[in-house]
Chain A
């Protein structure tokens, strides 16, 4: 009886396997097999980054050259290790990935490199030297935004730090950069520091908590989720304060909104661009198609930098004429604006970012010949290595007030 059960289930399983195998191995002969490995999905940033890659892969001539397979492994490094291993075993040509850990995946990546797989990391990085890191992390988000906030505050005031995820190296790098500036100014007092998990709702809740203890806040330095901080201030009936944050459409539109400005909102929108994924994918394709020779290295993506005065709402579907944010009819407030890049990714538009669809009639354009080499960021894109002496130098803004 027990044996019969086993037999039936084996038979059923084999049938399922046959059916699945049939669909999996149909049209994969002479195309490059490229895996897109997300660690988690479900927020605007991650899905835009993935959509851009999907749209590019469906744009001629890549649509004839690439078999793109997406995998979402969750927030568990073990699961991503397992996914990478499966990809290597399945004969991947390249893996484009948002790594969940800068260090835990190294051994698996090394094994993949030895078998000839190209590893391209976007946004988050790994310290394994055989992988390509395409990231803005070395571009100084923390220190530049911190200086911009100090300038707005005239070097005096109580501020909140709305950080990312505890125990995360990206969050640590941003915060270290910011503190390198804040600690120079004795007039700047960090009265509350909380983790917002790069999420609007959590930012709103945590900011609300901090406001009960410190209603006299003068400014907010925020990582992604910044729009939640504005909402928390409005909820509490508090005046808006100068703040810096990342690239959500809600924040950019608020910066340009005269009503919000009248309530006291000032600041700058900078931070992590989802467009990095598309850049990483195109670089990988140019290497695979032998259009480019590039040894594994850390490649810097420029830091987006949009002060309130530069915010310009787009009329069309792409960033033309210097516009840099889409109106609310087109995108939700959580939409991350820096997903398009007229220079690096002219092939895609807002619909690609939202739905992963290619633009009709577009073809893949070659990338600029030069890449910007990123500086060493110990523990982030290399290990062991030495940080450059001017690691926290300002690139986008100058100090207008002296300590």
Chain B
């Protein structure tokens, strides 16, 4: 967003040395709380149906949560940098349509086209970022407009109905098994580790934190500000493209509305995970927890025998309670007790 926002949000800019340790504890507490909530939900689920709470449910949650976990990395980075990415529906669809249209099933060796698909999605993110930085369009409008534009261009490109089937690699990604584990679960774990390293341990991650906290201070401190503001949008768009490919592998086909359901959950996962929507604060592990929590909740809620309206009310209430438990104040109190 704009500069005044970041200047005002200096409350949480922690000073040099203690920052890492403070961040680690916050990360640990936040991730631990979410993990505990997930376990509580799974155990509680046994009361809903005896078949729940089993390993197979965990597996289902991890596979269904795959998409949200990946998306929340990109969305989390963008939010961390002080922006917001509403272009996810468009870019997810772009990834899916290109994967079926360009790559397709015909040639199993066509996997090398997949990076091209990701790059195409990255370009969308790049355009959003440039519009936000150079044309000074608010991220909200820029990314929303990009999503509308991409979706409509795809509608025209496919003439309304996407053809083609899932590429071999995408199917292997979502349906295969290695060492008795489903491939998506293995990929998911690798992705989370890499994402965590990137955000919390790499120099790029620190740059993004810095611009998200205070752009001017970051500039003075020698952070490549423009680059650090562009990067999150490109990464987010590529994550979305990856999710598009994965979705195609999961359901063996692309549709033009395949990305629509993921926008609000991606933001919700990041916020539940303890990130500040204003930027500069948040961890990827928190977002992962948020994504898994939402997915677990979804599986359990759908097993409840109530009518849909009531289920929606219960779902909203549980989200509310989770958010109340994960509040900043509560962490501060815990933190002060520990000290």
Contacts and interface: CB of A to CB of B under 8 A. Distances in A.
Contacts of B257: 40, 42-43, 199
A219 interface: no
B164 to A, nearest CB: 7
Contact of B253 (A50, A205, A209, A334): A334
B251 A212 contact: no
A206 B159 contact: no
A333 B161 contact: no
B79 interface: no
Contacts of A47: 159-161
A206 B48 CA distance: 17
Interface stretch (B2-10, B113-121, B284-292, B297-305): B297-305
Query: What is the size category of the interface that chain A forms with chain B?
Result: 35 or more
A42 B64 contact: no
Interface string B244-274: 0001001111011110010000000000000
B219 interface: no
B308 A213 contact: no
B201 interface: no
Contacts of B255: 42-43, 199-201, 334
Nearest to A203: B251
A18 to B, nearest CB: 24
Interface string B180-222: 0000000000000000000000000000000000000000000
Given A46-B160, A201-B250, A212 B51 contact: yes
Nearest to A50: B160
A354 interface: yes
Nearest to A43: B255
Given A194-B302, A209-B299, A213-B303, A204 B160 contact: no
B252 A209 contact: no
Interface stretch (B15-23, B52-60, B320-328): B52-60
A204 B250 contact: yes
A192 B303 contact: yes
B155 interface: yes
Interface string A57-85: 00000000000000010000000000000
Chain A CB within 10 A, most for which of B257, B261, B298, B300 = B257
A41 B256 CA distance: 8
B136 interface: no
A212 B57 contact: yes
Nearest to A204: B251
A42 B160 contact: yes
A48 B250 contact: no
B251 A228 contact: yes
Contacts of A333: 165, 252-253
Contacts of A214: 49, 51, 303
A116 interface: no
A216 B52 CA distance: 12
Given A47-B161, A212-B56, A200 B253 contact: yes
Contacts of A200: 251, 253, 255
Contact of B160 (A41, A210, A211): A41
B332 interface: no
A357 to B, nearest CB: 11
Nearest to A213: B303
B251 A209 contact: no
Contact of B175 (A195, A235, A355, A356): A235
A175 B99 CA distance: 36
Nearest to B300: A213
A206 B302 contact: yes
Given A195-B308, A204-B250, A235-B175, A209 B161 contact: no
A24 to B, nearest CB: 18
A246 to B, nearest CB: 15
A202 B161 contact: no
A202 B298 CA distance: 13
Interface in A25-54: 40-44, 46-48, 50-51
B256 A209 contact: no
A380 interface: no
Given A200-B255, A201-B251, A334-B255, A208 B60 contact: yes
Given A209-B298, A332-B165, A41 B60 contact: no
Interface in B150-193: 151, 155, 159-165, 175
Nearest to A237: B56
A250 to B, nearest CB: 9
Interface in A326-375: 332-334, 354-356
B51 A213 contact: yes
Chain A CB within 10 A, most for which of B52, B163, B247, B303 = B303
A215 interface: yes
B315 to A, nearest CB: 12
A189 to B, nearest CB: 10
Nearest to B255: A43
Contacts of B305: 191, 193
A48 B161 contact: yes
Contacts of A205: 64
A51 B298 contact: no
A47 B250 CA distance: 23
Contacts of B163: 332
B308 A212 contact: no
A212 B247 CA distance: 20
Given A199-B255, A334-B253, A41 B155 contact: yes
Interface in A200-244: 200-202, 204-206, 208-216, 228, 231, 235-236
Contacts of B298: 209
A72 B151 CA distance: 13
Contacts of A264: none
Contacts of B256: 41-43
A210 B155 contact: no
Contacts of B303: 192, 209-210, 212-214
Q: Which 4 A-B pairs have the closest CB atoms?
A: A42-B256, A47-B160, A213-B303, A201-B251
5 contacts: A42-B155, A192-B303, A195-B308, A209-B299, A212-B54
Interface of A: 40-44, 46-48, 50-51, 72, 166, 191-195, 199-202, 204-206, 208-216, 228, 231, 235-236, 332-334, 354-356
Given A42-B255, A50-B160, A192-B302, 5 more contacts: A43-B255, A201-B247, A210-B303, A212-B57, A212-B60
